[in-house]
A and B are shown apart, each in its own frame.
Chain A
Amino acid sequence: MLKAKIKVTLKNGVLDPQGKAIEGALGSLGFGGVNGVRQGKYFEIELAETDKAKAQTDLKSMCEKLIANTVIENYEIELH
C-alpha cells in the first residue's frame, strides 16, 4: 500500500483573500514581521497500488481531474 500527501496551493498572482485575513489576524495577535500568508489545502490519500510509477500517474490524473482546479491552483504530490 502506498500513501500520498498532496498539497494544493493558489497559483502566484491569484488573489488569496483568506490568506490576507489570516495575515491580518496574526498582526492583531501581536505577531510582527509577517510579510504575507498564502493558504492552501492538504490531502492524504491511501492507495491499494504498490507500483510507485503507476501510483504517480494515477495521482497526477486525480489532481488534474478533481483535487486541484488547475485554472487557479498548483499541486504537489509526495509519495511514500
Chain B
Amino acid sequence: MKSAVITFPGINRERDMLLALEATTGHKPISVWHSETTLPHVDLVVVPGGFSYGDYLRCGAIAARSPIMADIKAKALKGLKVIGVCNGFQIITEAGLLPGALMRNANLHFVCREVKLKIENNQTFFTNKMANGQIVSCPVAHGEGNYTCDAETLRRLESEGRVVFRYAEGTNPNGALNDIAGIINEAGNVIGMMPHPENMIEPLHGKMDCRPLFEGLLAA
C-alpha cells in the first residue's frame, strides 16, 4: 500500500505519522509539501496533526486552501482514501471533504491526555480490524476539537453509521456533539478524527491499542 503524508507550515506530527505508516504497512510513505500541486500515485493520503499556519483565522482554514488540497479534493471525490488526524481533521473539514466544523473546546482548555475511544463502525478502511463497541485508549492533544454540525447533518451521520469513533462515556475532552471523535464521508473513503492513533502503536508509547487501525489499512 502506497501512502503520502502532507506537510503544511506549522504541522508537527508528520514524522510520527510517517513512522507509524512505515512501521505498520511496511512501506515508506512519501512526504509531500503543501505547495506541490499534484499528488504522487498513492492509495492513501494522510493529513497529519499540528498547528498549520499557526491556527490563524480558524484551525485548518488556510491549509485547506493550499495548492495540494485542490488535488487531494479532486482525487478524494474519485475515491482516493484520505485520513485527517487532529489538525488534519480540521483541515479536511474546512476543505469541505467532511461535514460540520471543529470549534473551540467547550471548557476552553487545550487538552493533552489519553481518552477512551469507542469503535462505532468497523466497516471502514481504517477500523476493519476492530470490533464494534470495542474501547481502545488513544491520546488527544488539541484546543479545538469540539465537533459540531446542524441537526440534519447529525441525524444523517448517526443514522448512516458515519460516526466511526466516539469518546467513551465520561472521556469527552472537548464538548463534541454526541461525543463524536471521528467521522467518515458518505462515500466511505474520507475519515477525520481528533485523537492521535499514530501515537499508540509501539511498546514505547505505553500501549499499542491503535496499531490494528493501521494494520486494517492493508486489509482494506
Contacts and interface: CB of A to CB of B under 8 A. Distances in A.
Contact of B104 (A18, A65, A66, A69): A18
A14 B146 CA distance: 11
Contacts of B146: 15, 17
A21 interface: yes
* Chain B interface bracket (under 10, 10 to 19, 20 to 34, 35 or more): 20 to 34
A17 B146 CA distance: 11
A48 interface: no
Given A15-B148, A15-B175, A69 B108 contact: no
A70 B175 CA distance: 21
B149 A71 contact: yes
Contact of A72 (B57, B148, B175): B148
A71 B101 contact: yes
Nearest to B150: A71
A15 B106 contact: yes
Contacts of A17: 103-108, 146, 175
Interface in A22-67: 65-67
A69 B61 contact: yes
Interface string B88-125: 00000010000111011111100000000000000000
Interface of B: 57-58, 61-62, 65, 94, 99-101, 103-108, 146, 148-150, 175
18 contacts: A14-B148, A15-B106, A15-B146, A15-B148, A17-B104, A17-B105, A17-B175, A18-B104, A65-B65, A66-B62, A67-B57, A69-B58, A69-B94, A69-B101, A71-B101, A71-B150, A72-B101, A72-B148
Interface of A: 14-15, 17-18, 21, 65-67, 69, 71-72
